[in-house]
Structure 1
């Protein structure tokens, strides 16, 4: 037969038993007191009702035990609340410190977050690019020249293209002196991007020499430094022909080979001007925006060929001769005063980040120091604010250029870099 005794904690019963008077001296409480319900949280020594099954005087009612439990919980509740408040404050402080650390890292960043993560944890160019055939246009100076030097140390086969053959010969000699290549590993292929009829023949020459094209780096092009109202229409036409149509034409010649092999990398050395529109570069910005739209569209059309990677790379100001060779108001004119270029990002650093992007198959890559990287993020995510900032800074950019300084020098009072 099951007992009808309700559950009572042993510790509470033991305490009540010690405090109770001897049963001989206890007197049974009147019925009215037995039937009256004690207040929760109070200790009373009363005779236990017969229905409880405990018997005897000096026992505790069940309601007294419940009152004791509620009283203990009430005393513990403030301490628990204080503990949780402390935990929440510590979490908030940790989040604030993490935010400050990330802000400081961003102020020192020279690339977008995906690129810097790939540099830290991604695949190395030394592992991924070895034994590949890489065709670099615009290889006679600037980024293209530095790219040839760093690729020559990775054991790739190089195709160097530009219009100035003597400069290509100079680059080749330096690649052989400082790289890991032999003479047969480097092909000098003169190329004019505006002569689109020659692109098919140039592609066949590369395939005949090396049998394949693993990576096409579209680096050839020119910049511009002139106000739109002062610029002859032929300058805009030249920039579109060279920067946009020439790149598209060469890509279309190489693409069938990559589709046949179902693999390959097409790298477009664009510019932050393809994201950020700034004064003095109207035609240049237009050609770079066109490249961005075209190759983003091409990538979506090649989804059934996942082995073909399209990488748009957007460098900011880099130490090179691009400003010295920039077009001015007329096609026959170039910039007279290029200004000091030493504050800009080192070309070697820019190219190193490009190789990391190529090794990790990154689709869109921003390479720039501050404040240009911040401006790119604003144009991407907060265009209204970016337009307001560009309008404010644009006036000084124009004044700098007209006074013989580099147009971007006004942005480097806080973010000063050192050329390596």
Structure 2
């Protein structure tokens, strides 16, 4: 019996060491890194139809490119049709002839028009005959001091980042239930895992999103409907510039700088595509030191001590790679 306990103990030590060293080597969690190398390739989705919201820029745009390279059919949805048309043309070029113009549908769509979601989704289904994956990626971030945030900002943040996602997902679920399978994917954030300072409304909306999607996954365990939650860290996109602040209608307005310590949008899009191809429950993707910070959340006492050491200002500097005065 002692030899068995010794083997189990050694295995636990090796397992822990692998995780400890992985956070210094990989730019994503260990499960995602494993599936990128040994799991289903993105090409396994060739010919499938993926509906992407927020596809006119950032993570949505670059996930579309990752799919287009592998011959995946796309619904590109966002408010800015001119930008969607640009993304479509890039997708067609990247597909190297695997996709025709009819294989990439541009859908001018406002996520906040909840009463139009069924119409939007039906347009996509009528075009392709089916939808295989709904990738709820549209959303905004936020910067502000907790007690200074206007309640209207909280409401607007939850309306966009949470309620619009829930509503569109329920529309998609009706289609997936009818066909007997489907895949729901949402873009959350490291803020959905960790209590990020100076972004209370955003963090709250993402934590709530995790709750809804985890509940949905558990309800659909035997229904052949997968649910994936994607949690990026800081990425080179225009996300920061258009972030909400403490007051309604006021955007953050500070652009990402080339010297910032952020993951490239191309890399993030590739990892999102890997997550979707492998139907992973939850994926983290971030550069050091954010990945170890996420793992430390599993050790509450250590996490609390580290946050006291960093302080909100220290964490903020790590997050946006700059010191700001509030």
Distance 1:250 1:285 in 2: 21
Paired with 1:322 and 1:394, the residues of 2 have a C-alpha distance of 24
**Higher relative CO (CA 8 A, sep ≥ 6), structure 1 or 2?**
2
Q: Residue 198 of structure 2 contacts residue 316 of structure 2 at CA under 8 Å; is this kept in 1?
A: no
Counterpart contact for 2:49–2:72, Cα < 8 Å:
yes
Number of the residue aligned with 2:65: 149
2:79 equivalent to 1:175: no
| Contact 1:278–1:390 (Cα < 8 Å) also in 2 | no
Q: In the alignment, which residue of structure 2 is the partner of 1:80? A: none
| Count of paired positions | 312
Matching of residues 236-385 of structure 1 within 5 Å: 236-305=154-223, 307-340=224-257, 342-379=260-297, 381-385=298-302
CA change 1:118–1:407 in 2 (3 A) is: closer
Aligned to 1:211: 129
Cα shift readout 1:241-289 (whole Å, capped 9, x = no counterpart): 0000000000000101101111111111110100011111100000000
Supply the distance in 1 between the matched residues of 2:288 and 2:241 (Cα, whole angstroms): 23
Q: Secondary structure at the match of 1:189?
A: strand
Contact 2:23 2:291 in 1 (8 A): no
Deviates more, 1:341-350 or 1:260-269: 341-350
By how many angstroms is 1:378 displaced? Answer: 1.3
Larger Rg: 1
Given candidates 405, 409, 419, the residue that maps to 2:321 is: 409
Aligned partners of 2:75 and 2:232: how far apart in 1?
A: 22
Moved more, 348-357 or 154-163: 348-357
Measure how far apart 1:99 and its partner are: 7.4
CA–CA distance in 2 between the matches of 1:297 and 1:389? Answer: 30
1:388 aligns with 2:305: yes
Compute the displacement of 1:321 (Å): 0.8
Q: 1:100 to 1:195 in 2, by over 3 A?
A: closer
Match of 1:199 in 2: 117
Cα 1:111–1:407 change in 2 (3 A) is closer
Gaps of 5+ in 2: 1-5
With normalisation by structure 1, the TM-score equals 0.70
TM-score, L = length of structure 2 = 0.89
Deviations 1:193-246 (A, max 9, x none): 111001011111111111101010000000001112222111111110000000
